Amino acid sequence: MAGSSSHQIKNICVFGGSSPRKEKEFLESANHLGQVLAERKTHLVYGGGSLGLMGGVSIAVFLRGSKVLGVVPKALAKKNLLGKTIGEELQVSTMSERLNTMFKHADAFIALLGGLGTLEEIFHISSWAQLHIHHKPIGLLNVNGFYDKLLSFLDQAVEHEFLTSSARRIIIFAATAEQLIDQLQSFIHIIDPSMSRIHWSTEKSRKKLRLDLSLHL
């Protein structure tokens, strides 16, 4: 099976919950991730705002000198549902455009804890990797075993042959920010044999596929 070599990560897109949280360890994990990103001279791409875990990671990154890009749908910005973005804010028209924009600006992806929106984003990006659209590394920050059951579900999907072992390896995980970023930096994408014959020959065709996938979510 062919693989792609690891690459330098300058910009990491972080997904996660934006709702206010009371769990101290979850908020601390978001703040610590931001600190580690800044210490490693890595810039943040995220969904904008200053609330919840997303607010925590963005503030920590910004205050320690790394760049922050928040991508916010105009409808959410108009109602101020996310709070004020810390750093640069880019407003887009739709949720699909938001994800496409974050994807374009990121070298890798990390999912903090979150709900349906976070799961949608991480699986959307993972499905693109499975389809051989990109080879950017994807990781879950598995604080206090939050994602254990999800990871078990993916393992079960492999057992029942709904997911190949190659596709399962797309999503990596670790309990700490340091461990996860180290794994992202050393990650080598293994192309799923069933997808190896797919070639997105032009940027135009890649953009069209991303749009089609977005419309069918």
Residue type, 51: L
Q: What share of the chain is helix, strand, coil (3-state, %, to 5)?
A: 50, 15, 35
Asked, for residue 100, whether it belongs to a domain, the answer is yes
Confirm whether 4 is domain-assigned: no
CATH assignment at residue 155: 3.40.50.450
pTM exceeding the 0.75 threshold for the entire prediction = yes
Domain tally, the chain? 1
Q: Indicate whether 200 belongs to any domain.
A: yes
CB atoms within 10 A of CB 45: 26
Q: What was the pLDDT predicted at 2?
A: 46
Structural domain for 183, as ranges:
9-215
What are the average pLDDT values for consecutive 10-residue runs of the chain, which has 217 residues?
62 89 82 96 95 93 96 84 86 95 97 94 95 93 96 96 92 97 91 70 55 52
What's the distance, CA 193 to chain centroid?
A: 24
Q: Residue 50 and residue 57: Cα distance in Å, rounded?
A: 9
The answer to whether residue 3 is domain-embedded is no
What pLDDT score does 25 carry? 85
Q: Which amino acid is at 130?
A: Q
